[in-house]
Amino acid sequence: MVVPGLAGAGGTVGTVLRREARDILGLPVTFGPAELDEAFRRQARVRHPDAGGDPAAFVELLEAHRVLSRHPSAGSNVVVVQSRGHLKRLADRLHRRLTGPPRVH
């Protein structure tokens, strides 16, 4: 898969196979939706660019989660990344979901 907007910067992202996706997320051969989501959140906390992770590794993580969470009837859940800015907004939205509301001291 080529992510538009990243290809010009040499940012071609390969399609992730289910087996590779399981390896990326550290999942066994059989897993449930709850295990998938927990593994994704655990990896996202480490791989997110705001946490010092590599942006390419985070995109790979997002693709792995998409591949494993996709069901035949879930075609509408597929996100098409249109530009580097769109990818950043998606990553920011996910980061806010993972970290929760800002703390007030």
- Measured between alpha carbons, how far is 52 from 30 in angstroms, rounded to an integer? 31
* From the candidate CATH numbers 1.10.3210, 1.10.287, 3.40.50, 1.10.260, the one assigned to the domain spanning 7-99: 1.10.287
How confident is the model over 12-33, as pLDDT tens digits?
444 567 888 889 999 888 888 8
- Measured between alpha carbons, how far is 44 from 60 in angstroms, rounded to an integer? 11
- Residue 92 gets the label, from left (phi > 0), alpha (psi -120 to 50) or beta, of alpha
Asked if residue 68 lies in contact with residue 60, where contact means CB atoms within 8 angstroms, the answer is no
Q: Tell me how far the alpha carbon of residue 45 is from its chain's centroid.
A: 11
Single pTM value for the model: 0.54
User: Confidence band (pLDDT; 50, 70, 90) for 90?
Assistant: confident
